[in-house]
Amino acid sequence: MKLNFDMYRPDPKWGVDDQEWECWMLEFIIYNPNYAYEYNSYLVSKVKSEILKNIVPPEEISKRRSERKAGRWRRVSGLDPDDRRPQYLTSLATFGDLFFGTTSGYHREFVPEKGKKFAMQGSFIILWDCDRDLDQQSHPKCQYVQHQLFYNSLVTVYALVEEAANRGDTVTLLTLPQAVDDMMPAHAKIEARRAPIFPADYVNADGNWNFHYDDMFSQLKNWGRETIYPPSDGLLPSSWKRHTIQLEKQGHLSPGTGEVSKYYYWMNSKDYDTMKEDLLKFVFNGHGVATELGVGMVYLQRQLNALDKSKRGTIVIITALPTMGWFWPGYHYYRALSKHFDMYIFDISYNYWYMTFLKEPNFMLNGKPMFGYVNLNTLFTLSPVNVKGFVNLNISAYSNVLTITLNTGQDKIKQYQLLTLSTVSELMTEIQKDFPELVLDRYTIQNYPTELIRDYSMNLPVKDGKLALLGPDGPNMTYKILKVIGGGVDGVSVT
């Protein structure tokens, strides 16, 4: 019997608020993993409804919005035999202006503008990094409960599979790392999901690095992990790069290190329903290893070589970047991919790498950033791009007081009480009043509670960059990712 968790939610008189209920359910599933399917279903449903609730005003997906930029609709006589809109049969009863926006006996066909490339089908690549860095955060309200991010990211992947289905794209879903092997659905046939064998040896564009792997997801070298924090100008120091490469070359094998999932993956599939059903059966079962994402990208590139490059594609990487040690060395491979794919990297760490993805030459192609980088803990960003005489911008949160300092030859300092301005939208409104010269961009939901913002500071010395106010925001990652990639939930575009 399929259980509906909310059916069991105690009446309001018990004073169990939404947050507490969520904590209870999360803790329940940690101790009762056999109910993972019910919990995951509950979470998917909850996240979807919250996204829809938080979109104000709800905007129905309309072809018109994208059409204006992308092309125009042409009136054509006769019925359209290829019309696959789900309401087509129903619409026969209302044939005419009401549904088709055409007079009787005509339909419309889309004519793309010149220079716009459209294809009916694309590739949607989801790289789900399940490693311990992704799962490091606990629930913001019930910090004793771990693994929240695993389930949050699971819902996100579920939503992305739905998004790919809506786009008509084939899905490639790679899960990392090895620990996910323990999380695979109990019902799944292991062999059916086992990764294929690939030829050994890979030499990168520089001819420097050789990889010797027996199969797609075999034991890999350990990447350098020298810690580095986001440089304010975005540029990774040469000394750090040299050292990181040296570490890589001295890489050693240690048990469980650098292993990615052997079993759970999908390649170029349109079996969306099976994927979604599988995801609902995933259960967190512990992490043993750290992800070697850069290595995963090597193989991703191989997969993409087999795809039709004339088709559009989207790559969504869900990961954590507490350091750049293992991610940066793979930039060669990303470069090749970025020619054909929109690449997004969503980072759940507390390091804000926006400037590095914007400015670091290794992450650029033809003078443009290769990645759309979003830190998933971003509440909103501040940009001084319009500030005359800009020198420096600083943001710091300490003891529930947010301080913003804008220097244009002299300091302009404003402070905000986070317990008084209780939601992110209220806080942004006040900041915008005080700093009309700054461009503010909200990433999280409007009613995000500011009391969750942790002590934190960030500095921006260049005009064409961004600062971000960060706060634990794992539960909203699905909203954020869909908003950034222009996705939708149940037919409603996420704004």
Residues found near other proteins in the complex (CB under 8 A) = 3, 5, 7-8, 10-11, 14-16, 24, 28, 31-32, 34-35, 144
Nearest-approach distance from CB 188 to other proteins, in angstroms: 17
- Residue 35 vs 456, nearer CB to other proteins: 35
Structure tokens at 301: 């590139």
Per DSSP bridges, beta strands 170-176 and 123-129 are parallel
Name the β-bridge partners of 415: 403
Nearest-approach distance from CB 39 to other proteins, in angstroms: 10
- Residue 6 vs 109, nearer CB to other proteins: 6
Judge if the upstream peptide bond of residue 472 is cis by omega within 30 degrees of 0: no
Contacts 24+ apart (CB under 8 A), 421-428: 421/450, 422/449, 422/450, 422/451, 423/447, 423/448, 423/449, 423/450, 424/379, 424/380, 424/448, 424/450, 426/450, 427/402, 428/380
Helical H runs in 138-292? 148-167, 238-249, 272-280
Nearest-approach distance from CB 284 to other proteins, in angstroms: 16
- Residue 30 vs 462, nearer CB to other proteins: 30
Phi, psi of 88 (to 5 degrees): -55, -50
- Residue 31 vs 98, nearer CB to other proteins: 31
User: How far, in Å, CA of 381 to CA of 354, rounded?
Assistant: 10
Consecutive H or E run containing 456: strand 456-460
- Residue 5 vs 282, nearer CB to other proteins: 5
- Residue 10 vs 491, nearer CB to other proteins: 10
Nearest-approach distance from CB 283 to other proteins, in angstroms: 11
- Residue 186 vs 413, nearer CB to other proteins: 186
Q: Which of 40, 36, 115, 106 shows the shortest CA–CA distance to 73? A: 106
The three-class DSSP label of residue 68 is helix
Nearest-approach distance from CB 148 to other proteins, in angstroms: 16
Burial 416-442 (b: 16+ CB within 10 A, else e): bebeebebbbebbeebeeebeebebee
- Residue 32 vs 447, nearer CB to other proteins: 32
Structure tokens at 239: 């000394």
Consecutive H or E run containing 86: none
- Residue 42 vs 223, nearer CB to other proteins: 42
Question: Measured between alpha carbons, how far is residue 486 from residues 67, 164, 203 in Å?
Answer: 14, 12, 36
Nearest-approach distance from CB 42 to other proteins, in angstroms: 11
Nearest-approach distance from CB 8 to other proteins, in angstroms: 5
Structure tokens at 435: 């700093």
- Residue 143 vs 447, nearer CB to other proteins: 143
- Residue 7 vs 98, nearer CB to other proteins: 7
Name the β-bridge partners of 411: 407
User: How far, in Å, CA of 146 to CA of 286, rounded?
Assistant: 10
- Residue 32 vs 274, nearer CB to other proteins: 32
Nearest-approach distance from CB 288 to other proteins, in angstroms: 17
Nearest-approach distance from CB 36 to other proteins, in angstroms: 10
Amino acid type, 244:
T
Q: Name the DSSP class of 288.
A: -
Nearest-approach distance from CB 20 to other proteins, in angstroms: 8
Residue whose tokens read 């971000």: 468
Nearest-approach distance from CB 38 to other proteins, in angstroms: 8
The three-class DSSP label of residue 220 is coil
Nearest-approach distance from CB 263 to other proteins, in angstroms: 20
Judge if the upstream peptide bond of residue 177 is cis by omega within 30 degrees of 0: yes
